[in-house]
Amino acid sequence: QKEVEQDPGPLSVPEGAIVSLNCTYSNSAFQYFMWYRQYSRKGPELLMYTYSSGNKEDGRFTAQVDKSSKYISLFIRDSQPSDSATYLCAMRENRDDKIIFGKGTRLHILP
Amino acid sequence: NAGVTQTPKFRVLKTGQSMTLLCAQDMNHEYMYWYRQDPGMGLRLIHYSVGEGTTAKGEVPDGYNVSRLKKQNFLLGLESAAPSQTSVYFCASSRGQGEFFGPGTRLTVL
Q: pLDDT tens, B63-89?
A: 999 999 999 999 999 999 999 999 999
Q: Which of A42, A49, A101 sits opposite B43 (nearest CB)?
A: A101
- Give the residue numbers in A contacting B (CB under 8 Å), as ranges: 34, 36, 41-46, 49, 88, 95-96, 98-99, 101-104
Q: Which residues of chain B are within 8 Å of residue A44 when distances are taken between CB atoms?
A: 43, 90, 101
Q: Average model confidence (pLDDT) for chain A?
A: 93
Question: Higher pLDDT residue, A95 or B57?
Answer: B57
What residues have CB less than 8 Å from A27, skipping those under 6 apart? A3, A91, A93, A100
**Nearest residue, CB atoms, A104 vs list B42, B96, B104:** B42
How does residue A56 score in pLDDT terms, banded at 50, 70 and 90?
Answer: very high
The pLDDT of residue A1 is 59
pLDDT confidence of residue A94: 83
What is the C-alpha to C-alpha distance for residues A44 and B43, in angstroms, rounded to an integer? Answer: 10
Report yes or no: B25 and B32 within 8 Å, Cβ to Cβ: yes
- Distance, in Å, from the CA atom of A43 to the CA atom of B23, rounded to the nearest integer, reads 13
Least confident segment among A2-6, B14-18, B105-109:
A2-6
Asked if the Cβ–Cβ distance from A103 to B41 is below 8 Å, we say yes
Q: Is the pLDDT of residue A90 over 90?
A: yes
Checking if the pLDDT of B41 tops 80, the result is: yes
Q: How many residues does chain A have?
A: 111
Closest-CA distance, B85 to chain A, in angstroms, reads: 18
Return the beta strands (E) in A19-79 as ranges: 19-25, 32-38, 45-51, 54-58, 61-66, 71-76
**Structure confidence at residue B2 (pLDDT):** 82
Q: Give me the pLDDT at residue A75, please.
A: 97
Q: Percent of chain B at pLDDT above 90?
A: 89
Quote the pLDDT of residue A110: 95
- CA A46 to chain B, closest CA, distance in angstroms equals 7
Tell me: the pLDDT tens digits for A32-47? Answer: 999 999 999 999 999 9
Inter-residue contact A86 to A10 (CB < 8 Å)? no
Q: How many CB atoms lie within 10 A of CB B79?
A: 12
**Mean pLDDT calculated for residue range A55-83:** 96
Would you state the pLDDT for residue B35? 97
Instruction: Give the phi and the psi of residue A66 in degrees, each rounded to 5.
Output: -120, 95
Distance to chain B for A111, nearest Cα, Å: 27
- Interatomic CA distance for residues B75 and B73, integer angstroms: 7
Determine the average pLDDT of the residues in B49-54: 93
